[in-house]
Amino acid sequence: MNTTEPLILNIEAATSVCSVCLSQGGEVLSLHESTGQNEHSRVITLLIERCMADAGLKLTDLDAVAVSEGPGSYTSLRVGFSTAKGLCFALNIPLIAVSTLASLAHAAFEAVKDSSALYCAMIDARRMEVYAALFDADGNELSPPTPMIIDDSSFERYFSEGKKIVFCGNGTEKCKTVLTSDLATFSGIINNNSSYLVKGSLIAFSHKIFADTAYAVPHYLKPPNITSARQVSL
């Protein structure tokens, strides 16, 4: 183990997947995750404990905690952020916020390795809406994270210029029947994974780009979808 490289705990809790990994430099030392619905608050500390135990390390060995900042599920994001911030306060180490969509796009690039393509990361936002952002192969953001209702003309601007777009993230599942252009490709990167945060968290640590532990909040994009309780006749 190279002890000169920062030891970072990476927490991905933006969607239904709760994933935690421990990384040093660009290497993943351990990874644990859960795909159960609505159980982030129950399992996240257990996943952290397992990661540290696998590596034979303690929380006090950490140099930073990175968390996926969204967009995504309102409740899941809050669980991830509160856990990450609590650790940073307790250990007096920096907090790193990593774009959920940028990390997905980077994972898609690593899978496809097409430097001429654009990469669109999508997270499901109910019905035909997604949270989406577009990146080039170098990770430069071409369009910011935005709520979008997908139809057959959503990316026509790029397709008309002959641009190939590689789509990734759990929002792509419902868009495959709509995005029928020959220039639309689906990467197979569907679920979020904490290992996707490793590159971004290492770069942020190296450049000392840290979030404010007291005031940092997730990137929700939209307010939570809260419905009124049903009235039941007895």
pLDDT digits (tens, 9 = 90+) for 41-87: 999 999 999 999 999 999 999 999 999 999 999 999 999 999 999 99
- In a domain? residue 44: yes
What pLDDT, on the 0 to 100 scale, is given for residue 225? 53
Q: Are residues 94 and 13 in the same domain?
A: yes
- In a domain? residue 234: no
> Is residue 159's pLDDT more than 50?
yes
- In a domain? residue 214: no
Q: Are residues 43 and 74 in the same domain?
A: yes
Contacts for 58 with CB less than 8 Å, ≥ 6 apart: 52
Q: Are residues 27 and 91 in the same domain?
A: yes
Q: Are residues 92 and 197 in the same domain?
A: yes
Q: Are residues 112 and 179 in the same domain?
A: yes
Q: Are residues 92 and 120 in the same domain?
A: no
Place 90 in a pLDDT band, splitting at 50, 70 and 90.
very high
Q: Average model confidence (pLDDT) for the chain?
A: 92
Q: Are residues 110 and 57 in the same domain?
A: no
Least confident of 33-47, 61-75, 217-231: 217-231
What pLDDT, on the 0 to 100 scale, is given for residue 2? 53
Q: Are residues 113 and 158 in the same domain?
A: yes
Q: What is the CATH number of the domain that holds 135?
A: 3.30.420.40
Place 227 in a pLDDT band, splitting at 50, 70 and 90.
very low
> Is residue 155's pLDDT more than 60?
yes
Region 201-224: mean pLDDT is 92
The residue segments making up the domain with residue 57 are 7-99+192-206
> Is residue 18's pLDDT more than 60?
yes
For residues 204 and 25, which has the higher predicted lDDT (pLDDT)?
204
Q: Are residues 26 and 110 in the same domain?
A: no
What pLDDT, on the 0 to 100 scale, is given for residue 3? 63
Query: What does the pLDDT look like over 104-130, one tens digit per residue?
Result: 999 999 999 999 999 999 999 988 799
What pLDDT, on the 0 to 100 scale, is given for residue 224? 59
For residues 232 and 60, which has the higher predicted lDDT (pLDDT)?
60
Q: Are residues 92 and 15 in the same domain?
A: yes
Q: Are residues 113 and 131 in the same domain?
A: yes
Q: Are residues 88 and 198 in the same domain?
A: yes
Q: How many domains does the chain have?
A: 2
